[in-house]
Structure 1
Amino acid sequence: MQHPRHKTLSDILAREIADGTYPVGGRFPSEHELQARFDVGRHTVREALKTLTEQGMLGRRQKAGTTVLASTPFAHYAHTLRDTSGLFGFVGDTALDVRYLGFVREPSFLLEHAEPKAPTERWLRIAGVRHTRSDGSPLCWTEIYVPSAFPLDREAVRGARQAIYELCMETHNLKLNYVEQEIKATTLPRAIAGLLAAEPESAALLVLRRYVADAGVTFEVSANLYPANRYSVRTIIR
């Protein structure tokens, strides 16, 4: 079966990006240049570039042209949620590279609209880049906030192979009552986009979660910020 022309073209261009013909951070040929080189129509070129953009390899901006963002496609993480056990699976499939660990007075702007906030003046902030374990590619920027009423050992946090909320539950003998989740459409700030090898101000998904214990006390809030083409949530309702 013959592949569509745009699929053949996107495969060729992906190989050229991978072998360094077009280096990461460099300019990528324009639509007109690609049309002339491959003797194909505008629609074929646009569809090929759309594929590479959705795979996270290219960033396209009006008036700024097309830039190479990555030498290999980014994996899309589909998160299936049936119950709270689905949250454990997410941690098993990913790893957090902690870039910041310390107390703050206020959560970052990512959580400025999260409600209700935990009743505390100090938070332990754990922030960094979350990678997929399968290939090590950056998946999202993660920020986790634990109220000072639930202190955690910092070395245990840095070396944790489990979710931070699990560590908090074990440390303080808490029982999880429920997790409240909200997903918002937003854009990637420039500083975070650079860490994720994504285009600044491009579409993003912000996943906010609040973890509540049996006593009705919030013991963790978190924010995961994803480039929009790298994450989806699949919920099963019975």
Structure 2
Amino acid sequence: MSRPRAIDQQPRPSSAAADAALLLAGTQPRYASVATAVATEILEGQRPIGSLLPSEQDLCLRFGVSRSTVRQALRRLGELGLVAGAQGVGTRVISDQPRGQYVLAVRSATEVMGYSMRTRLDIRSRAPLVADGALAKRIGCAAGSAWRHVAGMRRDAESDAQISICDLYIAEEFAAVANMPDLASTPAYRLIRRQLGIAVEVVTQNISAIALDMHQAEALGVPIGSPGLFIRRQFLAAGGRMIEATTNVHASAEEFVYSLRLGPPEEG
């Protein structure tokens, strides 16, 4: 079986989903632009943990800004827990995981699906349902199709930090998977493959910017109307049959960073 392919993974450049790849989104003061550029290098591994950043003077020359602007940028990076300064030594990279954020770095379909392996699902409910028009549009299924809905909160597997409101929709023919204890720590598609030998061939992903409604905001602990991200993933088996769909609602980019790295464009 060939390795799964990921498609429809790139958000529109002008959308808030693209801004979610930045630590400081929106119209940025100069220091924030500097902080974002350096933070991106840290997140992408160009500046490994333990390495020293260039001197303030070198950063001033690189970005064409004043020393006070560079110091503001370094202060912001320190607030994010990425760097720490030491008298007489310089500024050292101490983490590639911003404090208070969950960073999802994606380079392949394997990493899209590996997202579930780095987290755990705090399951709140399980129930059968038949897709009405609204749900059909939400997850991209046929109206009238049968699903097992598993609702919960996704959390970081190590820190237990809250990441997103998570809803799984498992095709009714695989309903037994919805009740498996392993579902909290193992993706449904993996359980389906393990139990029934049906493998995912294609993963599609759509990202949308949203304003959080009352229930979403309350669950995520932010004000009603706060900016958020809605991420839908469809897991397709042979012939395009959807065996699972997931939706995740995240709070603003201050809490969740989606980083997408692609290879060079194809020739021709």
> Which of the five TM-score ranges fits, normalised by the shorter chain?
0.5 to 0.7
Structure 1 residues 108, 201: closer, same or farther in 2, change over 3 A?
A: farther
| Corresponding position: 1:231 with 2:231 | no
| Corresponding position: 1:105 with 2:130 | yes
| Corresponding position: 1:87 with 2:141 | no
Cross-structure match for 2:231: 207
Structure 2 CA distance for aligned equivalents of residues 83 and 96 of structure 1:
22
Deviation at 1:93, TM superposition (A): 2.2
TM-score, with length taken from structure 2: 0.56
- The one-letter code sitting in structure 1 at the alignment partner of 2:125 is Y
* Structure 1 residues 34-73: aligned runs within 5 Å: none
Cross-structure match for 2:83: none
| Corresponding position: 1:197 with 2:233 | no
Deviation at 1:88, TM superposition (A): 4.0
Deviation at 1:161, TM superposition (A): 2.1
**What count of residue pairs does the alignment treat as equivalent?**
169
Report percent identity of matched pairs.
Answer: 20
Cross-structure match for 1:13: none
Structure 1 CA distance for aligned equivalents of residues 135 and 226 of structure 2:
16
1:170 to 162, 171, 194: 194
Deviation at 1:154, TM superposition (A): 4.1
Deviation at 1:215, TM superposition (A): 2.8
* Structure 1 residues 109-148: aligned runs within 5 Å: 112-115=137-140, 117-118=141-142, 121-148=145-172
SS at match of 2:240: coil
| Corresponding position: 1:75 with 2:100 | yes
SS at match of 1:152: helix
Structure 1 CA distance for aligned equivalents of residues 156 and 143 of structure 2:
33
Structure 1 residues 80, 90: closer, same or farther in 2, change over 3 A?
A: same
Cross-structure match for 1:184: 208
Structure 1 CA distance for aligned equivalents of residues 232 and 123 of structure 2:
18
After superposition, what is the alpha-carbon deviation per residue over 1:17-43, rounded to whole angstroms, capped at 9, x for unaligned?
xxxxxxxxxxxxxxxxxxxxxxxxxxx
> More deviation in 146-155 or 176-185?
146-155
TM-score, with length taken from structure 1: 0.62
Structure 1 residues 74, 193: closer, same or farther in 2, change over 3 A?
A: farther
Aligned residues of 1:120 and 1:148 also touching (Cα < 8 A): no
Q: Which has the higher strand share?
A: 1
Structure 2 CA distance for aligned equivalents of residues 124 and 138 of structure 1:
24
**Aligned alpha-carbon RMSD (Å):** 2.8
> More deviation in 146-155 or 184-193?
146-155
Cross-structure match for 2:25: none
Unaligned 5+ runs, structure 1: 1-46, 56-72
Structure 2 CA distance for aligned equivalents of residues 147 and 180 of structure 1:
16
Deviation at 1:90, TM superposition (A): 1.6
Aligned residues of 2:148 and 2:178 also touching (Cα < 8 A): no
Structure 1 CA distance for aligned equivalents of residues 126 and 174 of structure 2:
15
SS at match of 1:185: strand
Cross-structure match for 2:47: none
After superposition, what is the alpha-carbon deviation per residue over 1:103-159, rounded to whole angstroms, capped at 9, x for unaligned?
0112795763443x1576321001111111232221110011011122324441565
- The one-letter code sitting in structure 2 at the alignment partner of 1:169 is R
Structure 1 residues 228, 109: closer, same or farther in 2, change over 3 A?
A: farther
